[in-house]
Every structure is written in C-alpha cells, then in structure tokens.
Amino acid sequence: MFEFFQSGQSGQARAARGPNRWDWILLPLVLVVLAATAYGAAQMARPFILGQPTPIALDVWSLPYYLLRTILRMFMALGCSLLFSFVFAAVAAKYRAAEKILIPLLDILQSVPILGFQAIAIAPFIALFPGSMLGVECAAIFAIFTSQAWNMAFSLYQSMRTVPAELSEASRVFCLSGWQRFWRLELPYAMPSLLWNMMMSMSGGWFFLVAAEAISVAGQDIKLPGIGAFIAVAIEQENGRAVAWAIVAMLAGIVLYDQLFFRPLLAWADKFRFEESQGDTAQRSWLLDWGRRSIVMSRLAERFWARMRGTLGWFGGAPVRAPKSVMPGALRDVMPRVWDAILVLLAGYASLQLIVYVHAAVGWAEVGHVVLLGLATLLRVMLLIALASLVWVPLAVWIGLRPAYSQRVQAVAQFLAAFPVNLMFPVVVYVLVTWRLNPDIWLSPLMVFGTQWYILFNVVAGASTVPTELRLAADNLGLKGWLKWKRVYLPAVFPAYVTGAITASGGSWNASIVAEYVTWGKTTLAANGLGSYIKQMTDAGDFHRIALGIGVMCIFVMLLNRFFWRKLYVLAGDRSL
C-alpha cells in the first residue's frame, strides 16, 4: 500500500532549532514569487470599458510583465482543471450510470473548439463583472481551462479504472470508504501519470494561448496583456523580431515553472510508484532538496499535513465500513435498463431537434459538404496519429526507463508541446508560397505538431512506472529484442498510450481550427477540411454554419472514440499490470 504523504525530515531534533542557511536561501525566492503573484493578481481587476482597445506593446521590456500575466492565468486554469478532474474521474469511475453520460460528454467537450467555448462564455463573464477587467480575465482563464481539463480528467479516470487488483482487494479488506479509498489508494496510484498530464495540459494551454488572450466579441477585439496577445499583434504586423522574442520569453517561462513547480512535484511523487523493490528511477529536484533541509518549511509542512489528517480527516481516522445497499434485488437489476432507456430517449429527442434545426437553418446540401470536409480532416488525424505513434512510442519507452534522460528531455518536451503553431506561420507561408506546395497536404503536420506530445508524455509516464522487479524478471528469463517489447514493454505502457492517443486525437481535431487556416499579415493559406470551415465561418460571423461545423466535428469525434478508441480503452483495462 501507499503512504500518501511523507515528511522527509530527520526528526524532532531539527525542529527544535531556529532557521538555518537553507531558510535564508529560500526566503528571497519565496518573497519574489509572492510579490509577483500579488502584483499580477492586482492587475487583473483594473477598470475595463468594452470597445476601448488595450494597447499591446511589441518591445522586449514588456515581455516579463506579459509573461507574468500569462503564467498566472494558466496556473489558475490548471487549478480549476485539477478540481474538475478529481470530481469527474471519481464519479465516472465509481458509478456506472454516471459513466454512460460523463465519458461521451467528455468526448464532446474535448472536440468542441476553443472558439466555440469562447463564443458562449465571453458575454456572461463580462456581464458578471461590469466595468472590470476581471470578466475578460475569467473568460480567458475559462478558455485555457478548456484546453487543459479534458486530458487530465481522462488520465485520472484511466488510472482509477486500472488500479491493480491486489490493491483494490486490500482496500476492501481494510474496509476503506469511497472517500478514503480515493485519497489513500486511487489518487496516489494515479499521481505519476497525473503529474505528467498536468505538464502536458500546461503545454496545451500555451498552444491555444493566442485564441484565449486575443478575443473577438460583439465586433470588438479584446486583447489581454500576455504572451498570446503579443504573438497575435506580432502576426498582424508581420513582425518577425517580435515573434522571435516571444519564443525566448516562452522558453524562459517554461523553464521557470518546470524548475519551481513541476520538477519538485515529480520528485515528491516518485514515492507513489507501484513496486516492491527500490528502482533506479528516482527523480531529483534541487528546490525540493532545499525545502527538506529548511527548518521553517519543515515545520509548515508538518503543521499542514497534521491539520489535513486531524481536522479534515482526509488521510486519517478509523476505517469506515461502506453501508450496504437497501435497494431490492429486482429493482437493482431493472434500474440500469431504465436508465439506458432514458438516455436513448434523450438522444433521440436531441437528434430530432438537430434535424429540424439543420433543415430550417442551413439545408442538407450544406450538411453533406461539411461531412465531406469532416472526412478529409478525419483522414489527416488518423494518419498523423499513426505516424506519431510509430515515432514516439519506442522513444518514450526508452526515455521512461532511463530517469536521467527523462529529466533532461522533460523541459525540452514541454517547450515543444507548448510551442504555439501560430509562431510557425511565417515559415510555413514562405515555404508553401515559394515552392507552390499543396496546402491540403503540407498544412496537415501542423495539426499534430502540438498534440503528438500527449503520446510522448503519457507513454513516458507509463514506462517510468513499470515495476523494477518486472524488468529484472524479464532480464533473468533472457527476453531480448522484439520479444521483450511484445511481452513486457508494450503491454505495460498500453493503457497510458491509449489515454495519450485519445487526447492527442481530440486535440488534433481542435488544432485543425488553427492548422487548416494559416495567416501571416495579408497572406492566407487554407486547406479543405472541417477546421478551416469553422474558422472561415467564425471570421464571417455565420452562427448557423459555425454551429453546424462544431456539431459535425463532435459527431465525428464521438463516433471515432466509441467505435475505435473506446475498444482499445477496454482492452487496455484488461491488459493493465
């Protein structure tokens, strides 16, 4: 079993002393982080008048301030995504009736483009905080949330469904309640994979940052101070120098929160690895080492976890025996069928309303045209995911089994995953126009440029949790080459791969909005596809065709997930370690 939290301290003798040198070393760092957070948060509540443009300067000295505002938005969205993932995964994994609704709903939410969420959310948030920048900030945070939450929710749900049978049996023997089981078993077991997906979600927020911070509403352009708005203005003005500085600022931001946030979390979560023997996969973090040597941080940590154990009772207290169901056996057998019938009726009613709407608003000829565009995008998505899998699965397994390389690759992979595809528009437009290449073919790689890393991150996380005793057993049995991959590595990472492939597929559909319609200044290149159609209708303000394009995209993603990815998902659950 897991021990969820460990103090990492040497004992009470250390607590009796005053602050040491590590406290004085950490003090300036803590003060800088707190001061920057407070300053950035205060700027979010400045007065705002709709229609009054917010100037975005393209000078280098404005970038630190823009980077601070962007990182604050992304961490706020990340916190909301984490809470959403806890609730979603717990409900979907524990209740079969809820799972039948939540998993298809998540498929739909994952496939809705960020432009669709923004069109719905921006007006209510502005109305909620009239005359304040806070409403627009909440809309931007919500947009970033929609690019982060689905991946994390899928990861936690998949981990909770694949908890080893012996651990589940142990939790039943100890009579853990559902609350205790979640905090003592399921979340610790899922922690390594969840942290890797949090990093991937953070990178996903960067990928759609331009759409989140450069908002169009009621014929007005709203640009929030941030790296995304900086990039949008640089693209409009064809300022290559500003684009280059934006890349440098992004790299600096990613390195900062990797070293100050994700790297310590990964090192701390290494104790949740499911294996009996001590492996050689330990993560290291200089900040976590400093914190463990600090007297003040040790006291704060001990008091915090003591309060969590004592007052809230999350991790302590006597086991609670779950109450037995009082529902009669016959009724318990009938209720799932009744629930299924209700879902079928609701789906039928929604389909009928959709048919009436389509017939009255756009016509069936337009529907056929959009379906053909969806098939073109589907072909691109499947080919690109297959190619990305062939490249990244072997490499990710190799990295995950070697923690030293894993730590070196981590920051680089985060940067590449976070790299907004908009920053590649100057090069793409120049190459395609100069060489007269076909946009239908050569714009396609942009769709998977930011989403292929879902596969890499998930497989690295899966490979890093392969028990050392299993690897040693394979070596003792003389397994080598393809046989070792077939019998050990591929089955071990298969659940993680399926999670990454599902999110990469959904993310690629979403990224088609950006990848199939490329602009640089006054030059525009468009590929025939569903993403290009939605982007053009958004620019034209045709609400009916926007809704049609988003609806068709949702249908394609749901059918693909239901008849392809979900089959692999079930197989992954059966084959998990």
CB 409 within 8 A of CB 403: no
Q: What is the pLDDT of residue 80?
A: 95
Amino acid in the structure at residue 244: A
- The enclosing H or E element of 524 equals strand 523-526
Pairing between β-strand 523-526 and β-strand 214-217 as defined by DSSP bridges: unpaired
Q: What percent of the chain has pLDDT over 90?
A: 16
Among 526, 327, 354, 372, CA closest to 443: 526
CB 272 within 8 A of CB 189: yes
List the chain domain ranges: 44-273+362-575
- The rounded distance, in Å, linking the Cα atoms of 107 and 346 is 17
CB 374 within 8 A of CB 552: yes
CB 529 within 8 A of CB 512: yes
CB 449 within 8 A of CB 424: yes
* pTM attached to this predicted model: 0.79
Pick the CATH number of 44-273+362-575 from 1.10.760.10, 3.40.630.30, 1.10.3720.10, 1.10.1040.50: 1.10.3720.10
Q: What is the pLDDT of residue 245?
A: 93
Q: What is the pLDDT of residue 220?
A: 63
CA distances from 148 to 249, 308, 494, 501, 512 (A): 21, 27, 22, 15, 17
pLDDT of the chain along its 577 residues, tens only? 334 334 444 444 444 466 778 888 888 888 999 999 999 989 988 888 777 778 899 999 999 999 999 999 999 999 999 999 999 999 998 888 888 888 888 877 877 777 777 777 777 888 888 888 898 899 899 989 998 898 899 889 988 888 887 888 888 888 887 788 888 888 888 888 888 788 878 877 887 788 788 876 545 678 899 998 998 898 888 888 998 899 899 889 988 888 899 889 888 887 776 654 444 556 778 888 888 888 888 888 778 777 766 554 554 444 444 444 455 555 566 666 676 677 678 767 777 777 777 777 788 889 899 999 999 999 999 999 999 999 999 999 988 888 777 767 766 776 777 777 777 777 888 888 888 889 999 888 888 887 888 898 889 878 887 877 888 888 888 888 888 888 888 888 898 898 888 878 888 888 888 888 888 777 888 899 998 998 888 777 777 888 888 888 888 888 888 788 878 877 776 655 5
- The rounded distance, in Å, linking the Cα atoms of 160 and 157 is 5
Q: What is the pLDDT of residue 343?
A: 66
Q: What is the pLDDT of residue 352?
A: 77
Q: What is the DSSP letter of 214?
A: E
Q: What is the pLDDT of residue 65?
A: 95
Strands (E), 158-276: 214-217, 220-223
How many CB atoms sit inside 10 A of residue 219's CB?
Answer: 7
What the block records as the tokens of 106 is 């998540």
